[in-house]
Amino acid sequence: MQRAQDKGLLEVHLHALRDYAIGKHRQVDDYPFGGGAGMVMKPEPIAACIEHLKQQRTYDAVVYTSPDGVRLDQPLCNRLSLYQNVLILCGHYKGVDERIREKYITLEVSIGDYVLSGGELAAAVLIDAVGRLLPGVLNDESSALTDSFQDHLLAPPVYTRPAVWEGHAVPEVLLSGHEKKIEDWRLEQSMERTQSRRPDLWEVYQKG
Contact positions vs ligand ADE (CB under 6 A): 65-67, 91, 110-112, 114-116, 119, 122
Nearer to ligand ADE, 70 or 145 (CB): 70
Nearer to ligand ADE, 112 or 162 (CB): 112
Smallest gap from residue 38 Cβ to ligand ADE (A):
12
Smallest gap from residue 73 Cβ to ligand ADE (A):
13
Burial class (CB in 10 A: 0-12, 13-18, 19+), 92: buried
Euclidean distance between CA atoms 57 and 112, whole angstroms: 30
Smallest gap from residue 39 Cβ to ligand ADE (A):
14
Tell me if 9 sits within 8 A of 3, measured CB to CB.
Answer: no
The DSSP letter of residue 144 is: G
Q: Give the CA-trace dihedral at 138, 139, 144, 148, to 10 degrees.
A: -110
Nearer to ligand ADE, 45 or 91 (CB): 91
Is the C-alpha dihedral spanning 132, 74, 153, 115 positive or negative? Answer: positive
Nearer to ligand ADE, 115 or 164 (CB): 115
Euclidean distance between CA atoms 158 and 161, whole angstroms: 11
Euclidean distance between CA atoms 41 and 30, whole angstroms: 6
The residue nearest ligand ADE at its CB is 122
Nearer to ligand ADE, 39 or 182 (CB): 39
Nearer to ligand ADE, 70 or 175 (CB): 70
Euclidean distance between CA atoms 203 and 196, whole angstroms: 11
The C-alpha angle with vertex 119 and arms to 63 and 77, in degrees rounded to 5, equals: 45
